[in-house]
Amino acid sequence: MADSNFIDYVKIYCASGHGGGGAMHLHRAKYIPKGGPDGGDGGRGGHVILRANPQFWTLIHLKYRKHVKADDGGKGGAALQHGANGTDIYLDVPVGTVIKDGESEEILFEMVEPGSERILCKGGRGGWGNDHFKTPTNRTPRYSQPGEDGEEGWFILELKLLADVGLVGFPNAGKSTLLSAVTAAKPKIADYAFTTLEPNLGIVNWHDGRSFVMADIPGIIEGAHEGKGIGLRFLRHIERNSVLLFMVSVESNDIAADYRTLLAELKLYNPELLDKQRVLAVTKCDLADKNTTASLARRLPRKIPHVFISSATGDNLDKLKEELWKSLQK
């Protein structure tokens, strides 16, 4: 996992720039020995701004950038010269990034719209020069205002993948094989548990140029909500999926029981996940005959649609796509 390029959690320290101080200056010229105040204002400190960039899909570019500091604003000058604003720092993040307070872990905001920008740390306001403080009774103020301090703190950036359909199942249930069969994605496939160690995304083409995004999440095991296996690390990626496709192998001793176990893990992690549309796919059906699948069908949960599929032979994959598309429209 240490060598993985898929980084979905980083903690970084960010600090905006301080505002520049206003100038205290009195105008002097050859024929104006006692001119009035002309001190300019200080510049604003630089912001730290997050930008949702759809070309990014991981936070790896921020993994080794633990400290981010924007420039301070420039000081005001004579002749009402305004100090330069500090340069803003833009941090590109994937769409679907959640920003939390680094201490309390309270959610501050989420980046869900491509191209959207949010100020993470606001730059300090520049101070006023003494020109702002002149009055009829105090025409030569000899003081100015300092700039305001910027904002700083630790922040957690946590990525939740944006996908229409999320694949939920035990390790080796055939999730990666299905993704490779219905999309152009090429996930690692092997006949052992935990082949998938990071989420994979693929686009499923449907009729009339329509399509939807499918996400292959690493396998869940019983107790994943408590941190067992590697499911806990990736369960949050399911939170943004519109439809959950539960996948259980036809080799299972009790398909309905396995489905209930998966459902229980999701409920224990986040009960709101049960409000999503669900479809059940019984995989690897090229290993069973029609009589076996007919018998199994009578014992499956009746509240959700189910499809018997084989990613190896392509059986019923179009039927599965149709069922998923119907669920997405709901």
pLDDT digits (tens, 9 = 90+) for 219-246: 675 554 444 445 556 677 788 889 999 9
115 neighbors 51 (Cβ within 8 angstroms): yes
pLDDT band (50, 70, 90) for residue 28: confident
pLDDT for 224:
43
Q: Which two tokens stand for residue 31?
A: 């024929």
Domain boundaries, the chain: 1-159, 165-329
pLDDT for 87:
97
What per-residue string of b and e applies to 240-277 under the rule 16 or more CB within 10 Å gives b?
bbbbbbbbbbbebeebeebbebbbebbeebeeebeeeb
Cα-based distances in Å from 180 to 3, 48, 85, 172, 233: 23, 39, 50, 14, 23
What per-residue string of b and e applies to 35-44 under the rule 16 or more CB within 10 Å gives b?
eebbbbbbbb
Q: Which of 30, 330, 318, 26 is nearest to 181 (CA)?
A: 318
pLDDT digits (tens, 9 = 90+) for 57-85: 889 899 889 899 999 999 999 999 999 99
pLDDT digits (tens, 9 = 90+) for 3-23: 456 788 899 999 999 999 999
pLDDT digits (tens, 9 = 90+) for 269-310: 889 989 999 999 999 998 888 888 888 988 898 889 999 999
Which residue carries 């740390």 as its tokens? 121
Per-residue pLDDT for 188 more than 80? no
pLDDT band (50, 70, 90) for residue 196: very low
Q: What is the mean pLDDT of residues 149-159?
A: 96
For residues 267 and 270, what is the distance between their CA atoms, to the nearest angstrom? 5
The CATH code for residues 165-329 is: 3.40.50.300
Q: Which CATH class is domain 1-159?
A: mainly beta
Torsion 169-172-174-177 (CA) sign: positive
Top-confidence residue, 121 or 208 = 121
Of 52-61, 116-125, 168-177, which range is least confident? 168-177
Q: Which of 226, 203, 206 is nearest to 216 (CA)?
A: 203
| The model's pTM | 0.75
Report the chain's mean pLDDT, rounded to a whole number: 87
Burial of 302 (0-12, 13-18, 19+ CB in 10 A): exposed
Per-residue pLDDT for 250 more than 70? yes
